[in-house]
Structures are given as structure tokens and as C-alpha cells.
Amino acid sequence: MKKRMVALLTAAAMLVALGGCSSSSQSEKDGAGKPEEKKEEAGGAEDTGELQTVKVVMPRDIECLDDMAMWIGDSQGYFEEQGLKLEMISGSNPSDIQMVSTGQADLACPSPNVTMAQIEAGVPVKIVSGYDAINIYGFSAVNGKGIDTWEDLKGKTIALGDASWESIAAPTLIAAGLDPEKDVEYVVNGDSRYQMVSEGQVDVLFTWISEYEQLKGMGYDFNYLDGSEILEVFGASWVAGTDFFDEKGETLQKFLYALQKSIYFMYLNPEAAADITCNQFPEIEVEWDGALGCANGRVGQALGVEGSLEEYFIDEVGVGYMSDEAWNTVIDNAVKAGVIKEKLKVEDCYSDELLPELLSDEDKADAKVDAEAYQCTSKVYESAH
């Protein structure tokens, strides 16, 4: 594996936006959000007139705010610059991984614990890049309910979206000194889980940074026990079938390069990221503070730093890089939590062989122009301004 060394950074603080949205009242909507002229992609795909479709299956309904980087890349033309067309597919764990393994989709983005369980079972997939640089998972309860520390989780009910989330929550609970099988009770209640916690029907919400920030922005009075403070691992990662990995490596590199550019745009202007996604899904009921909170959360998840983006993830190692040290921690904790029976080798789970080149100066400048020129047009933004 490539020996590009970097310490796993654990700070989950939300980054300060370097650029905001200007009022959409000064522009026509059909021209908003994208400069009229785009220079040619440095090192990008040749223009053959045909785009290659990349099918991406997510472990949930895609009609949500969490995939902001995807919609940035789509709306700003970053996938197209690489000769790609994005197709997003709603899925669930572990069927998303199985879809990738059988060629029904090209890429999935589950938790590494879910992926490792499938790898141990013989499913032919490999993790090819990180997406969340830190342990994004945490637990929330209503403020004033006396659930303020990790120890307070003992004896409580925890709301999950589906049963597979048990394997995702377990390592953090174990790191907190709890026995997931004896000390807590899981309640699977899908999309209604945070309402049920708010109403007192379930004690605790298993959540993640961007969702928590979104809920806080929507007025939910939740606290947050941050898993990254007690367990230094990483969150969701990109998974490809071994056939796709072997046969379409160039396509994979182009996808990850475009995604890297999208994340840089999101870092520069989280407000634009929120607005783009609200325009993508205008039926989502969310307040602007909630949408912007989710965008800031997504930046923190993707980069895991408070500042120093260029130094660590753009100029040195690249967005998506995961160290062997971090991987060994993930594997050890998966064994401890019973997610996998025996310790896997890092190379059985992950390869950074196809990580793309670092974002070029030209593409950083291009993304900066886009981010600074973006004008918000969503009804959610306009209702708050």
C-alpha cells in the first residue's frame, strides 16, 4: 500500500464557512449557482460527447440532505468534467454491498463494519477510499433528561434506523465501557426515530454529526455524546466490487477526483452546499438553520479538522486517504464488538491503489470561483432571508 503517512485527526468541530450565499434576488434562477464560463478541467477526461454512468447506491433513501457532495459535483459539472454521469440509487445495509458485488451498482458507501462483515462472509468487494475522516457516530438525548454522559446510557433504549446499525453503534459503546448486548436495548424505528426520542418514547438517538447538526437547526433540543472523543476511527467509506476495481480503475479514480473537488467546494461554501441540496429535493421539510447545520456537519465529517484543510487533505494526502494504523484500530474494534469473528488483514479490506491524484491548483481555483460566485435560490434559503 502507498506509504503516505498522516495521523488520524479526531476533532469533529464544524468548520467556519469561507464564503456565503448572496441574495438570489439579483440573478435569474436558471443561471444561479454556476458561472457561465468554465475553463477546461486540468487533467480531466477528453470530451468524447459520451458520458459514462456511475451508479452509486446509498444505504438509505437518497432524498435526504446527507449527500451534498454528490449533488455539488452533479450541479457544478465536476463529474461531467471527468466524463461521468452520476446515478444515485436508494438502498439499505447490506443489500447495497451485495448490489455492488454483483454489478447492479458500481459504488456503495456503508460503514466499514458492515462492509467487513460482508468481506468475511466472502462477498467480493473492497473499500477503495474514505468518505468520513473521523468516527462520525454519536448518541443524543433530550436535554434535561439526565442522559449527559456515556455512563448514563446504561439501561436505556436506543433508537436505530435498521437492525444493521447495531454493528455500527457497538464499537463506540464498547469504547465507552458499555456492553452493547447487556447494557442497552435497541429499538428499530426507521425514519421516525428522532421524533420518538423527542417525545420520550425512546431514550436515546443513535445518530451522526451532520444529522445531529441538522436536527439542532430544526429546533430539536438534543445533546450530543461525540463518539470521536473516545474512539479514533473513521466513518462511511467507498466500496467497489472487485471486478469494478480490477477492470474500471480509471473510472473509479475519476469519480473520486470529482468528489474531491466537490468536497473542496463544500468546504469553501457550506451555504451553497445546503442550497444545492435543498434545490435537489424541494419536498424535504427543513428549516434553513437545519440545512446549513447539516452542511457544516458534512464538512466536519469529510475532513475531520478545524482548519488546515489544504495542508492535510488537499496538499499532502488527499481526501479519502486512510492510514494502516487507523484501519487496524477499526478491525480490532470490529472483532471486539463481534462484528467479525477473526481479525482481517488490512489489504483484505482496503486498497488505496486507486486513490486519485491530489486536487490540482487549477481545479482548486476553479472550485473557489464556483463557490464564491454561487447565489442561493432555494425556497428554504429565501424563507429565512
Co-location of 126 and 54 in the same domain: yes
Co-location of 243 and 193 in the same domain: no
Residues counted in the chain: 385
Co-location of 144 and 276 in the same domain: no
Q: CA-CA distances (angstroms) from residue 128 to 250, 261, 270, 273, 357?
A: 13, 17, 26, 25, 14
Co-location of 174 and 200 in the same domain: yes
Single residue among 229, 252, 287 that ends a domain in this structure: 229
Co-location of 214 and 330 in the same domain: no
Q: Percentage of the chain with pLDDT > 90?
A: 73
For residue 25, give the DSSP letter: G
Co-location of 176 and 91 in the same domain: no
Which has the minimum average pLDDT: 27-36, 122-131, 245-254, 330-339?
27-36
Domain enclosing residue 104, as ranges: 49-134+234-384
**DSSP H helices in the chain:** 68-75, 78-81, 95-101, 112-120, 165-175, 193-198, 209-217, 242-247, 249-268, 270-280, 288-303, 309, 324-336, 346-349, 361-373, 379-384
At 135-191, the pLDDT tens digits run: 999 999 999 999 999 999 999 999 999 898 999 999 999 999 999 999 999 999 877
For helices 249-268 and 270-280, give the axis angle rounded to 10 degrees: 120
**Domain contains 343:** yes
Local confidence band at 223 (pLDDT 50, 70, 90 cut-offs): very high
Strand, coil or helix: 9: coil
Co-location of 156 and 95 in the same domain: no
Single residue among 209, 229, 249 that ends a domain in this structure: 229
**Domain contains 238:** yes
Co-location of 144 and 281 in the same domain: no
pLDDT score of 65: 94
Residue 324 pLDDT more than 50?
yes
Q: Can you tell me the mean pLDDT for 313-339?
A: 90
Which has the minimum average pLDDT: 44-48, 132-136, 185-189?
44-48
Strand, coil or helix: 41: coil
At 241-254, the pLDDT tens digits run: 999 888 889 999 99
**Domain contains 80:** yes
Co-location of 296 and 243 in the same domain: yes
Co-location of 199 and 330 in the same domain: no
Local confidence band at 39 (pLDDT 50, 70, 90 cut-offs): very low
pLDDT score of 368: 97
Q: Can you tell me the mean pLDDT for 203-218?
A: 93
Single residue among 229, 261, 295 that ends a domain in this structure: 229
Which has the minimum average pLDDT: 6-20, 36-50, 207-221, 295-309?
6-20
| Domain count within the chain | 2
Q: Can you tell me the mean pLDDT for 223-250?
A: 92
Local confidence band at 304 (pLDDT 50, 70, 90 cut-offs): confident
At 251-269, the pLDDT tens digits run: 999 999 999 999 999 999 9
CATH number of the domain residue 311 falls in: 3.40.190.10
Residue 43 pLDDT more than 70?
no
**Domain contains 34:** no
**Domain contains 147:** yes
pLDDT score of 21: 57
**Domain contains 5:** no
Mean predicted lDDT score pLDDT of the chain: 87
